[in-house]
Structure 1
Amino acid sequence: MAKKLVKSRRQFLQTTALGSAFASFSLPLIAAQKAADFTANLPESMRQAGKPFSNYGQPSPYEKDIIRWIAANQDMPGNGVSWSPLHELQGTITPNGLHYERHHNGVPDIDPATHQLLIDGLVEQPLSFSIETLKRYPQTSRICFIECGGNSNSGWRNIPIQSSAGYAHGLVSNAEWTGVPLSYLLQEAGIKPEAKWVIAEAADGASLNISIPIEKLLDDAILALYQNGERLRPENGYPLRLVLPGWEGIVNVKWLRQLRLTDTPVMSRDETAQYTDLMPDGSARQFSFIMDAKSLITSPSLGMHLSDNPGIYQVTGLAWSGRGKITRVEVSDDSGESWLDAELQEPILDKAFTRFNLPWQWQGQYAVLQSRATDDSGYVQPSREALVANRGTDGFFHYNAIVSWEVTEEGDINHVYPF
């Protein structure tokens, strides 16, 4: 048996060596022949050399339908909005070219070489900064969302609007903003004790100006020079933007040119006639800066169709809160009768998008999908019924109620109010 074992082992080694030699000789020839056959069967376009290098990358032409949807004033095209296509995106960072827009008088063309930021008013010494000077200061980066106060305002209507998730709720985007902490410059200018407010003014054609409590500017305000690693795009404030994490978009002033410290708010058009809400008792809701917790199922959502073969679908979406971190997102498929906790994708950041996911078994049954967010302050996203009971139906801003997607037995999806 021992001799037979040795012989077998010897035969095994010889066979292996021979096989290896044969393989080393024949496999490249076989592979080359297969590669030649494969190449010969390729379409002509795939056998040609690829395109050369480009100085700045662009999306594939096959993704040309993933765009911002624009709604502008016909008489004044520079006044309007463009929605970010949240239903077409994944992850949490919004690409610069798809970040939502809100302009009052178009996008100004500003030469950074001549642009100045002036800090004056109730300060010990007024200061002026060029863009190049600001670049010399220590910089910080912060991932956070910016949301227009008018985002989702169609929810106040009596009849649910039938628009894609991003094109009804996409006046919100999430990016990494890099720039100078504003507190450095305010402290350098010297804040007088009576200073309570700061009037921020833009260099656009509307000379937009808005009042901001000084405490926020001393807390986490950033003079942003960069967005997602590159210089700001013109439509997002180039060359300088004020970023106030968690606060409504109007105070995140683009094309920033002046910060004037005062003892009272300026009471401009955008904090009196606009960005205020009429309450049921006749009073006005004003200076409602913080964007409350909100969530949105982006898939499956309106405009999508579940296949004819029922099975498991991934329910996914985004949650965010201007009060802090998202701690919980619940998902319901029975219009809020029962809820399951969704998985929150890491990292979970303060005042930033958090993506949530939950596998869902659909067997062709009628369903109403909802998501409900909770943040670390304990705030829970309200139902539409609760929000309307508290705020009435004469409002326009800060709509953050639960969104409901109806799934029919045929797999079609509609926007509904569940009561």
Structure 2
Amino acid sequence: MKDPKGLTSRRGFLRSGLAAGGVIAAGGASAGTPQGTPPGNPANQPPNVPDWTRNLGEGVAVRGYGKPSEFEKGIIRRDVEWLTASRESSVSFTPLHALDGPITPNGLCFERHHSGIAEVDPADYRLILHGLVDKPLIFTLDDIRRMPRVNRAYFCECAANSGMEWRGAQLNGCQYTHGMVHSVMYTGVPLKTLLNEAGVRSNAKWLLLEGGDSAAMTRSLPLAKALDDVLIAYRMNGEMLYPENGYPVRAVIPGWEANMWVKWLRRIELGDEPWHHREETSKYTDLLENGKARRFTYVMDAKSVITNPSPQMPLNHRSGFTVLSGLAWSGRGKIARVDVSLDGGRNWRTARLDGPVWDKALTRFYFEFDWDGRELLLQSRAMDETGYVQPTKNELRKVRGVNSIYHNNGIQTWHVHKNGEVENVEVS
């Protein structure tokens, strides 16, 4: 359903019945409602002396582990209850709209589980390395932590991120359209180090990675990738991994889809061919419109999203100086440039990349402009160092159709209304 301006809105898709599975807007009333600064308590505002300066606060070590201010308690991971039959095999979403910079806080990294969170006692943890190796090995956590370590920032993105948007604008908030991604600084041991210690036989071509959860999550990994940049990680942003992110040890597969990043890693087996489990094959396959399929779609292509303004972060002013902020990333390397459009892709302007631009990691971009109060159609378009340019959703659909829920890296459009509200739409 299109309005006179050529926009296809989330609401129009829902009314026309094109939303797959009866999709409804996630986020409730908070989406699309200008928030602004609450009026607060005038007694605590100038020229009065506020309450918090009249009394002593809590002392040191009262809060043994620091937490965000109570006034930021709404910034949390959220799930969509109807998305799966069970929360033990489901996903929660990173609140991208409420964050800044290129690093995701540990407590807000999105989750994807197949049988719930495995609670592993590190004293009992063992990593088995066997198969086509000269010397089968078993590593304790202490063994791994004594090895030469590296620190690398990488993004981790589910292949189904933005998957609900293949058929049109449906979920009203970038937490839900793009929130199955995070980027942290991992500390760990290159997998190549472990393989060298075991001795890889000449006929080995693939690895099987197996997790320690009750699903025994298994994924096949080509040996060439394993010897390139894969990490066996045990820390994230300086801390030990959180249980929901694979404590005590997980695989980090830079630039490749997150379902291969096996958590609670317990076993690595080398073989001469991939292990084709039914679920695994489907995860690596994108069904096309003509009935054929793209196989082994490991790499996550260049992608970007404007996080603010967005449906959960509307503009709280009607005009004036405005800072647009967003994220870009690519599984093929570094982000080279991000362009921003205020008019639905008719005109593009180069955004400012700020902070570190790491290989295969989230990159923060900004674009500052004076808003005159008119309606906007915000878009961002990422380019990586290989020359790949992020496509529009329609360009993707012409090639792939709408049968898949994976690898949707199409350009996102936010419609900013005159009152500052923001809505998920598409442009024709």
Distance in 1 separating the partners of 2:391 and 2:422: 22
Matches within 5 A, 1:368-383: 368-383=377-392
Distance in 1 separating the partners of 2:137 and 2:150: 21
Instruction: From the superposition, tell whether residues 320 and 75 of structure 1 become closer, same or farther in structure 2 (CA, over 3 Å).
Output: closer
Distance in 2 separating the partners of 1:74 and 1:157: 19
Distance in 1 separating the partners of 2:279 and 2:127: 21
Q: Which residue of 2 aligns with 1:12?
A: none
Q: 1:216 deviation in Å?
A: 0.7
Distance in 2 separating the partners of 1:279 and 1:75: 26
- Find 2:54's aligned residue among 37, 47, 50: 47
Distance in 2 separating the partners of 1:48 and 1:396: 55
Measured on the aligned residues, the alpha-carbon RMSD in Å equals: 1.8
SS of 2:97 mapped into structure 1: helix
- Find 1:84's aligned residue among 60, 81, 94: 94
Larger radius of gyration, structure 1 or 2? Answer: 1
Q: Which residue of 2 aligns with 1:106?
A: 116
Please list every run of 5 or more consecutive structure 2 residues that lacks an aligned counterpart in the other structure.
Answer: 1-44
Aligned residue pairs total: 381
Conserved 8 A contact 2:286-2:297: no
Distance in 1 separating the partners of 2:71 and 2:296: 44
CA-to-aligned-CA distance 1:376-398 (integer Å, 9 cap, x gap): 01100000110111111001111
Please list every run of 5 or more consecutive structure 1 residues that lacks an aligned counterpart in the other structure.
Answer: 1-37
Q: 1:47 deviation in Å?
A: 2.3
Distance in 1 separating the partners of 2:320 and 2:335: 29
TM-score of the pair, normalised by structure 1 = 0.87
Q: Which residue of 2 aligns with 1:126?
A: 136
SS of 1:273 mapped into structure 2: helix
Q: 1:79 deviation in Å?
A: 1.1
- Find 1:233's aligned residue among 223, 237, 242: 242
Matches within 5 A, 1:272-291: 272-291=281-300
Query: In the alignment, does 2:164 pair up with 1:181?
Result: no
Conserved 8 A contact 1:85-1:170: yes
Distance in 2 separating the partners of 1:385 and 1:157: 10
- Find 2:214's aligned residue among 186, 205, 214: 205
Percent identical pairs in the alignment equals 46
Distance in 2 separating the partners of 1:75 and 1:376: 40
Tell me which of the two structures has the higher relative contact order, counting C-alpha pairs closer than 8 angstroms and 6 or more residues apart: 2
After superposing the two structures, state which structure 1 stretch, 215-224 or 54-63, moved more.
54-63
Matches within 5 A, 1:166-177: 166-177=175-186
Q: Which residue of 1 aligns with 2:226?
A: 217
TM-score of the pair, normalised by structure 2 = 0.86
Distance in 1 separating the partners of 2:352 and 2:87: 42
Distance in 2 separating the partners of 1:216 and 1:226: 21
Q: Which residue of 2 aligns with 1:164?
A: 173
Matches within 5 A, 1:320-331: 320-331=329-340
Distance in 2 separating the partners of 1:76 and 1:56: 31
Which residue identity does 2:424 align to in structure 1? H
SS of 1:358 mapped into structure 2: strand
Q: 1:66 deviation in Å?
A: 0.3
Q: Which residue of 2 aligns with 1:136?
A: 146
Distance in 1 separating the partners of 2:311 and 2:164: 15
